[in-house]
Structure 1
Amino acid sequence: MVSEAARTLAVRCEGRANSLARKLSREVFESVPGYAELPPEIKDLEIAATVRHGVRLFLRGVAHPPADPDGYALFRERAARRAEEGVPLHLLLRTYALGVHGLWQVIREEARPDESGAVAELVDLLLRAQTDVVGVVTERYLAEREALAAERAADGTRLAHRLLDGGLGPEDVRHADVDLTGPLLVLALGAEPAAPTPPGGPVGHHRRLRGLRSALARIPGAATTALLAEEPEGGDLAGRAVVPGCAGVPTGLAAHLSEGYGAPLYVAAAHAPDPAGVPEAARTAAEIVRIARASGLPADRVHRLDGVLLEFHLSRPGPGSDSIAGLLDPVGHRPELLATLRSHLELRLDRRATAAALGVHPNTVDKRLARLTALTGLDLSSPRGTALALAAQLLRETRRPAHGARDGA
């Protein structure tokens, strides 16, 4: 229950609502960093009106309870508008705190010496009301910012897919919110072949993509945020990305993106001189990821075409591709032989390095390779046999679905 003395004091204070609103919006709030840069119509009209509303809402709620149940609607609407305009949240909350202090000063000035009890009562109610208002304003502001961020992300995703898939015409490029002129760095991002499924199912998958998107927004040295086209869970790629205006590959990019993703990522890069060249660069980058994974290359660096030229050439489909890939069919049910072959080729036919990588004795490597030769006819001691084995492995690994059925036959 509010005392009669507190109600009487509230009525007297209400008469100063207009003058308090003018003073706060034109003088007091100027001390808040960033407030002076706001447009005059916001300061003199909207903010002043919000102050008047807040003062009257509080004082009338005290003088004539109950308070207006929808009195906070204006606060919510203005918080959403400030969020849309990009006004910092700290600026918004500081004006509300200063408004409460200004109202406290009015209460103190209007109170008579014998109204100390009424003053204490009003201050108690004012502090409680401040907690409610700050909560309402913060909640609505953050909700609006989150909605705006989601909308921008969706727009960026649509733009990325159209750009990567060749669906962006010259007119679209001219009207895009992102400057797409100049060189564009195109990335293909793939998880390690044996990477575990993210905990939490689809939620975990989306958390990783959110971390990846955040990392792409903070690429060292990049002039603008990258556009990410997310890929379905369980596919070869976690996503494809385009970094506008990036002529080189930023240092530490693979580690940076893997950290954001929360797991090692294969990162392949290709450059496009303009938007028209992005689809081809994206296809090349995606192939480089598949080749790097199939060849057992590490996921701790950015892979470029010049680093896998031979493998890229050998993995190109052609009239003899199925026959070459089929050379390894006789050992399709022997994963230890395939793993030994992959490591042996990756480590330049060094049997001791292969043994160390696999955690076996060098003699075991010799026995496995001899068995592979016996079953497939691929002689790794000859240049031709080595080249055939490399081509067969690459074609088999990069076209895994097509050969999976044959392995199980």
Structure 2
Amino acid sequence: MDLEANLDMKIPRVTGKLREMTAAYQRDPTVIVERTYRAISQSDAAYAKLPLGTKSDFMVSIRFSAVLWCNTILTGEYPSDEDMEPFRKVGRRRVHQGVPLASLLRAYRLGSKELWTIYLEFGAEHPDVQNELLFELSPYLLDHFDEMARAIAVAYMEEQYEQSRWKEALRYELCNLVFDASSDVSEFNRVSETIGIDPTIGRVALAFNSNVLDTFPSRIEKELDRMLVVVARTAKVNAADLVRVMYRGRLIVWIPCIRGDSILASDRRMGELATQVIANVAEFKQVGVGMMGQGPSGWSCSVDEAIKAMDVGERMGAGDNVYRYSDIALNEGARRSDNVLRYLESLIERLSHEPDLLRTLECYLEQFQKRKQTAQVLGIHPNTLNYRLERIEEIAGGNLGDPAWLAKLYVAIGLRKGSL
């Protein structure tokens, strides 16, 4: 604590019975510690739920604070910077123990109240100390604990800021590992665990098109953090469990899957989540949804899938704002094999010379093979539709009643539409 902050602070030096009482508590502050601990743990859930090891540290910090108070009013001197360092360390530790700053300050306020109650009880039993207690000690007690709260809050926020910068650096390193084809899985796991992310849980990448990049550069990070909180709230996870990065002009957010979920269940859940997020965040225009992946290669693959789904969806003019890779997975799988691609293209190659037949096939598939509905959409007589479908079977060499052949036509038509 700097001296300038204490020039106007009058520090009393207790006398008589108050001095005897304070000296006794300096030697053994057990009563103060137990009453303070009980008052705080009963009033704040953050402290009541602390693990055993942290509770022990909490008790030690109360003891230190009580002795520090006793020393101050016994000597009439404010604690030195060296005396204050262990106190500041308490604030730093609370950051890593997950205690919110509001709970930390509330605990200190409750502690000061409990200490003052102990002194008031002593004053009630000894009327001769009441004047010194009320007019000398009480004003300083308020100043003392106000300064202590300020010191511990500053230490807490400084540590929180450093922790935030440290975690951001590790998250940046994690993203580099994801997009590095030669990345080491063990290193990916180490960095993930260091920042509190379970690398054994699969994740799905969501790729967002957003107009947030049109804002001032100094505000982009703050806006992205705000939107990430909305995504986390919608997904019912902690924001710290999400990882985000700007990649190829899109905001990428990796969402943790539920352990044990199948890839089908995960895809359905992420599709619903993406729809909700688009509705809740006005800055998000479209979102691509990848498939579940694990490890650096799995995370990277999910990003590629999410971006691909968005690109294909926008190119085909689907009119939606949520594009799932699972909707184009068969088509994209076919594209990766030249032989399969040539085979599927050959299925409808001859039909392309008769536009009416090709359009009829597309509509027939879009209407889920319902002939009456297809005829109505095309505006033709049912007999005309039957004739055209027979011609399609004859030219393409297959049977529309064969599910396997029908599935090939679905993929072939999808590939053709995607290439236009």
Q: Structure 2 length normalisation: TM-score? A: 0.60
* Cα distance change on mapping 1:280 and 1:265 into 2, 3 Å: same
Deviation at 1:154, TM superposition (A): 3.5
2:30 maps to 1:22: yes
The question of whether the paired residues in 2 share the 8 Å contact of 1:189 and 1:267 is answered with yes
2:249 maps to 1:236: yes
* Cα distance change on mapping 1:294 and 1:216 into 2, 3 Å: same
Q: Secondary structure at the match of 1:230?
A: strand
**Aligned partners of 2:203, 2:419: CA distance in 1, in Å?**
29
> After superposition, what is the alpha-carbon deviation per residue over 1:141-184, rounded to whole angstroms, capped at 9, x for unaligned?
244234324433432342244234444434335544133336x3
Residue from 186, 189, 206 that aligns with 1:171:
186
Deviation at 1:204, TM superposition (A): 2.2
The question of whether the paired residues in 2 share the 8 Å contact of 1:269 and 1:304 is answered with yes
**Aligned partners of 2:88, 2:162: CA distance in 1, in Å?**
15
> After superposition, what is the alpha-carbon deviation per residue over 1:340-360, rounded to whole angstroms, capped at 9, x for unaligned?
xxxxxxxxxxxxxxxxxxxxx
2:131 maps to 1:117: yes
The question of whether the paired residues in 2 share the 8 Å contact of 1:21 and 1:48 is answered with yes
2:275 maps to 1:263: no
* Cα distance change on mapping 1:208 and 1:94 into 2, 3 Å: closer
2:209 maps to 1:191: yes
Within 5 Å, give how 1:6-405 maps onto structure 2: 7-8=14-15, 11-18=19-26, 21-33=29-41, 34-35=47-48, 37-39=51-53, 41-43=56-58, 45-57=60-72, 59-60=73-74, 64-65=76-77, 67-68=78-79, 70=81, 72-89=84-101, 92-108=104-120, 111=123, 112-121=126-135, 122-172=137-187, 175=190, 176-177=192-193, 178-181=197-200, 184-191=202-209, 195=211, 197-199=213-215, 201-218=216-233, 220=235, 226-231=241-246, 235-241=248-254, 243-244=256-257, 245=259, 247=263, 248-249=266-267, 250=269, 252-258=272-278, 263-272=283-292, 274-275=294-295, 276-298=297-319, 300-306=321-327, 391=419
The question of whether the paired residues in 1 share the 8 Å contact of 2:205 and 2:253 is answered with yes
Amino acid corresponding to residue 32 of structure 2 in structure 1: L
The question of whether the paired residues in 2 share the 8 Å contact of 1:189 and 1:268 is answered with yes
Deviation at 1:206, TM superposition (A): 0.8
Amino acid corresponding to residue 284 of structure 1 in structure 2: E
- Aligned-pair identity (%): 15
* Cα distance change on mapping 1:312 and 1:206 into 2, 3 Å: farther
Deviation at 1:128, TM superposition (A): 2.6
Deviation at 1:29, TM superposition (A): 0.8
Amino acid corresponding to residue 23 of structure 1 in structure 2: V
**Aligned partners of 1:213, 1:7: CA distance in 2, in Å?**
54
Deviation at 1:119, TM superposition (A): 1.9
**Aligned partners of 2:34, 2:212: CA distance in 1, in Å?**
59
Amino acid corresponding to residue 209 of structure 1 in structure 2: L
Greater fraction of residues in helix:
2
> After superposition, what is the alpha-carbon deviation per residue over 1:335-391, rounded to whole angstroms, capped at 9, x for unaligned?
xxxxxxxxxxxxxxxxxxxxxxxxxxxxxxxxxxxxxxxxxxxxxxxxxxxx99974
Q: Structure 1 length normalisation: TM-score? A: 0.61
**Aligned partners of 1:226, 1:203: CA distance in 2, in Å?**
25
**Aligned partners of 1:157, 1:3: CA distance in 2, in Å?**
50
**Aligned partners of 2:283, 2:328: CA distance in 1, in Å?**
23
Deviation at 1:15, TM superposition (A): 0.7
**Aligned partners of 1:273, 1:299: CA distance in 2, in Å?**
25
The question of whether the paired residues in 2 share the 8 Å contact of 1:291 and 1:312 is answered with no
**Aligned partners of 1:240, 1:159: CA distance in 2, in Å?**
13
Q: Which runs of 5+ in 2 are unaligned?
A: 1-7, 42-46, 339-414
Q: Secondary structure at the match of 1:120?
A: helix
Deviation at 1:32, TM superposition (A): 2.9
Amino acid corresponding to residue 159 of structure 1 in structure 2: L
Deviation at 1:230, TM superposition (A): 1.1
**Aligned partners of 2:12, 2:70: CA distance in 1, in Å?**
18
**Aligned partners of 1:7, 1:223: CA distance in 2, in Å?**
50
Deviation at 1:273, TM superposition (A): 5.0
* Cα distance change on mapping 1:188 and 1:100 into 2, 3 Å: closer
Amino acid corresponding to residue 65 of structure 2 in structure 1: T
* Cα distance change on mapping 1:28 and 1:7 into 2, 3 Å: closer
**Aligned partners of 1:229, 1:280: CA distance in 2, in Å?**
15
Amino acid corresponding to residue 301 of structure 2 in structure 1: E
Q: Which runs of 5+ in 1 are unaligned?
A: 318-386, 393-409
Deviation at 1:78, TM superposition (A): 1.0
Moved more, 39-48 or 123-132: 39-48
Q: CA RMSD in A?
A: 4.4
